[in-house]
Amino acid sequence: MTNTYRRGELTIDQQLALATAARRLGEEFTGAFGAGTIERFLHASYEEFATRAAVANFLPLLAERFARQRLHALARVEGRSDGRPIVLFLCTHNAGRSQMALGWFRHLAGEHAIAWSGGAEFAGEINPAAVASMAERGIDISHEFPKPWTEEIVRAADVVVTMGCGDACPVYAGRRYLDWELDDPAGKGVGDVRPIRDEIERRVRALLADLGVSSV
């Protein structure tokens, strides 16, 4: 079941949750972005998920998390950078390959680099077999969620890694692109996902070495 987003049809609880999220983001980005920009990104992010999320109660939280990522990306595009490289992993549904790559990158790079992920046609949930296979290696991606890519997120990335999304993946001048040919874990069991997981680990380690980022 999908939800149709209209601001006037938000429940009281959803309105309060979004107001609280806007306040938190406002405090976090004080001096960087005004209230209008923050509310615009927050409500646009809410709208992205409202058409796909099965549980409406989680929508304000998802919107806040995605709006935060988008605002960090916008700050980077506008020249506010802490110097850490940013890698964006993209696949079709952001449910399997790109989520495993994100998990490996964050696990191996720690605070030395930043990674995001997205999908051209993002799914409603992460592939359970991908979650289970990563858990076998001690990496929890169950708290992640499929999400789209946006212009500022792509433009903020130093490296964009595509995985099977073909022409649907965005191309912007000045970005470094890598295309990883990997089997799609969709519809596969954990046993069949393990080789994909291990190949992604190998490629992420090689990417970190190429970026000069120490890995654990």
Q: Any catalytic annotation for residue 50?
A: no
Sheet holding 114-119, edge to edge: 114-119, 86-91, 159-163, 176-179
CA 184/CA 165 separation, integer angstroms: 11
176: number of Cβ within 10 Å: 12
3-state secondary structure of 99: helix
Q: Is the pLDDT at 10 greater than 90, yes or no?
A: no
Of 21, 25, 154, 165, which is the active-site residue? Answer: 165
Q: Any catalytic annotation for residue 68?
A: no
What's the topology of domain 1-81?
A: Helicase, Ruva Protein; domain 3 (1.10.8)
Q: Any catalytic annotation for residue 205?
A: no
CA 129/CA 165 separation, integer angstroms: 20
pLDDT band at 2 (very low <50, low <70, confident <90, very high): very low
Amino acid type, 196 = I
Q: Is the pLDDT at 7 greater than 70, yes or no?
A: no
pTM value is 0.91
Asked if the domains 1-81 and 83-216 are classified in one and the same CATH topology, the answer is no
pLDDT band at 1 (very low <50, low <70, confident <90, very high): very low
Write out the two tokens for 62: 């998802």
CA 37/CA 26 separation, integer angstroms: 10
CATH 3.40.50.720 matches 83-216: no
Q: Is the pLDDT at 176 greater than 80, yes or no?
A: yes
- DSSP H helices in the chain: 12-28, 35-50, 59-77, 97-109, 128-135, 151-156, 190-211
Tens of pLDDT, residues 158-171 = 999 999 887 888 88
Q: Is the pLDDT at 94 greater than 60, yes or no?
A: yes
CA 17/CA 80 separation, integer angstroms: 29
Q: Domain ranges in the chain? A: 1-81, 83-216
Write out the two tokens for 165: 């999304």
SS3 content of the chain, % helix, strand, coil (to 5): 50, 10, 40
Of 50, 63, 86, 91, which is the active-site residue? Answer: 91
Q: Which residue has the tokens 């799609």?
A: 184
pLDDT band at 45 (very low <50, low <70, confident <90, very high): very high
